[in-house]
Amino acid sequence: MNGNPEKSIRVHTISLGCPKNRVDTERLLGALGPAMVAVDTVAEADLALINTCGFIQPATEESIATILDTVREADEAEGKRPLVCVAGCLVSRYGQDLKDGLPEVDLWLNTEEIELWPAMAREALAAQTVEGLPRNLSTAPSYAYLKVSEGCSHNCRFCTIPSIRGPHKSWPVEFLLDEARQLAGQVPEIIVVGQDSTAYGSDLGDGHDLPALLRGLADIPALEWLRIMYLYPAGLTESLLTLLKGTGKPFLPYFDIPLQHAHPDVLGSMGRPFARNPEKVIDRVRSFFPEAALRTTFIVGYPGETDEHFAALMDFVRRTRFHHLGVFPYWAEDGTPAAEMDNQVDDEVKIQRRDALMALQAEISAEIMEGYVGETVDVLIERESDEWPGLYIGRAWFQAPDVDGVTYVSAPPDTRLELGTIVPVDIEKADTYDLSGLV
């Protein structure tokens, strides 16, 4: 690179892990300015960027494998070798050991200096300095994530996030609203994400809290759907629910509540910030939003989890009837208190419990999806399907991207649906997790 501002910067990106990582990637790409050109392969790139996840063992393994593949492709590129940049949680977690083991990587970006990433990348590429944190969206033309905070100040005994990302740190309200206004000009749906979205603003002064942010977001005229992810149970207070109830459109009554377990003994051992009866939180949400779509995640096989604890979790899921549910076998992560605990559960038992819980959820999900047959549901169109002309793939309001099912939409002959628009769909068929219907 010669520093000429007219010269394009060809970038190949791989963003692993959670939506918060994707936002970090998009901000970095946006900071490279109009000279940034996305390319599909490492061989075409000036910069090959991998934003890694190091949350649990499988994510670490995936990140390492991706780095090795990218380095190999960079080395095999004809002409000038692309600069290989590795960013994110894996870098923060393993630091110098990772750098010593992978000297082929040209640039390392850890999360502790995330605000310096654009400058460090520009310096490495000798590119033009661009002020601010614009975004270069990598999602479908229908939605964008709005990351409202960094890190986490909870002390869950199984979690590596505080040691990787540091304590909870919120972005100022006006910064986020400025970013949201730009995003709403490009996509109809904004999805709020943070390690604990309900804790937003707890580290800032007056006027910087989740209610203030939500009121500002709801006032953006172009915004059609507003979805909030990672709502910790302890933060779902009556005052917050009252605010959400009064917000109306564009807020979607979709509640992503990471409970992690249902038995108080296991929750207490996990060190969860809400270790009481989670049923009370669910009942509170449904008292304000009877129509709410609920999503959660659970960890099975946590140290000391007995058959009785797991049976209680199964009963809780059976009674609660979540729209969507994710289950993860517990992984003993280095540096976490839980990894040193006695009564570690056998891996085979963890997998059996995960499979049993997911089988139960499949039955529940199929019944819930069947309930939409015969109804007309608003669907956000995301992409055309390759199966046949006139078939589109979209999401209903109760389907979040990447983690939930989808809705297949058939349009009449000679009718083309515009991507990124919301259309009413007559639902005709339901599968375990997906819906199908006609415009």
Per the annotation, binding residues for [4Fe-4S] cluster are: 18, 53, 89, 152, 156, 159
What's the sign of the alpha-carbon dihedral 259, 261, 266, 270?
A: negative
Q: Which residues contact 392 (CB under 8 A, 6 or more apart)?
A: 381, 382, 383, 384, 385, 408, 409, 410, 411, 417
Residue bearing tokens 């910087």: 208
Joined together, the tokens standing for residue 334 give 């280095």
